Amino acid sequence: MKRKVKNIIIHVILAILAVIWLFPIFWVVMTSFRKESGVNINYFFPKELTFDNYTRLFTDTQVINFPRMFVNTLIISIFSCIIATTFVLCTSYCMSRLRFKMRKPFMNLAMILGLFPAFMSMVAVYFILKLAGLTEGGLIRVALVLVYSAGAGAGFYIAKGFFDTVPKSLTEAAILDGCTQFQVFYKIICPLSKPIIVYTILTSFLGPWLDFIFVKVIVGAKDEYWTVSVGLYNMLEREFIQKWYTSWAAGAVLVSIPIAILFLIMQRFYVDGMSGAVKG
């Protein structure tokens, strides 16, 4: 009886927390289908549902060009994800399997630098990019990719911890059979490390997809290179909020779709990796 009461209390608490967590998401979704424009309303459920807010995002592009911002964000996130994932996994393998001079001091330095927020360096990063001529024209996208991926290798600790769990006897046997370090990494470590690879891909994609600070600083007022975070923020400015508030909610829903798709695709590899690791 005590166990049943305890389970009931736990499930009630979890249900309350789930409602609190899901309520803002449900509110944004309902607002995205609301026909009445503006912010100040005294009811929660829309009186009339419509898809006009989603249509406006792709048709009314004179002031806020959402499709262009979406494409900019997608391009920057994909390239940043590929480069950052490669850097993190390669660095993690080197720190986990190779032994060389200054290895421990480098790991300690990376850990100390990781304690500081990244935006502390944004002013210095901006002036470096400006001196390199990467803050004008189409090179702004290149600058953003560099910002999100260049220092990604310093965040190797989580992946390194996972690589450390792979038995060293497997890599030693492969090297004795004539495999190079790259072959060991690609053919042995990676197939057994799918969960951490999935995690690295997701975090590398979410960073540029959701970032606001660096885009605002580097891009500035050049709206042709805005990402969705800056675009959604500008929809809430005083001169736009009455007209674009419900479309802002629709944009917030659309922004979450690529993240959900990526997670659903990667989840299968995560499960397969876990089963493979257990068998290994």
The rounded mean pLDDT for the chain is 84
The contacts of residue 22 (CB under 8 Å, 6+ apart) are: none
Q: Tell me the pLDDT band of 276, cut-offs 50, 70 and 90.
A: very low
Residues 66, 213, 139, 91, CA torsion sign? negative
Mean pLDDT of 247-256: 89
d(CA 163, CA 189): 7
**pLDDT for residue 16:** 94
> Where are the chain's structural domains?
60-279
Scanning 152-240, the segments in alpha helix (DSSP H) are: 157-163, 168-176, 181-184, 190-192, 194-210, 213-219, 228-235
What is the DSSP-derived secondary structure letter of residue 189? Answer: I
Q: Tell me the pLDDT band of 40, cut-offs 50, 70 and 90.
A: confident
What is the DSSP-derived secondary structure letter of residue 35? Answer: -
What is the DSSP-derived secondary structure letter of residue 185? Answer: I
d(CA 106, CA 110): 6
**pLDDT for residue 280:** 41
**pLDDT for residue 130:** 85
**pLDDT for residue 11:** 92
**pLDDT for residue 78:** 92
pLDDT in tens, 100-147: 888 888 888 888 887 877 777 788 888 888 888 888 877 888 889 988
d(CA 18, CA 4): 21
**pLDDT for residue 278:** 42
pLDDT in tens, 186-221: 888 888 888 888 889 888 898 889 888 888 888 877
**pLDDT for residue 83:** 93
Asked whether residue 71 carries a pLDDT value surpassing 70, the answer given is yes
> What's the pTM value of the predicted model, to 2 decimals?
0.82
Mean pLDDT of 231-254: 85
Mean pLDDT of 256-263: 86
Q: Tell me the pLDDT band of 51, cut-offs 50, 70 and 90.
A: confident
Distances, alpha carbon 279 to alpha carbons 97, 172, 272, in Å: 22, 19, 11
**pLDDT for residue 264:** 83
**pLDDT for residue 214:** 85
Residue with the larger pLDDT of the pair 42 and 130:
130
d(CA 189, CA 171): 8
- Residue 34: phi and psi, rounded to 5, are -80, 135
**pLDDT for residue 271:** 59
Class of domain 60-279: mainly alpha
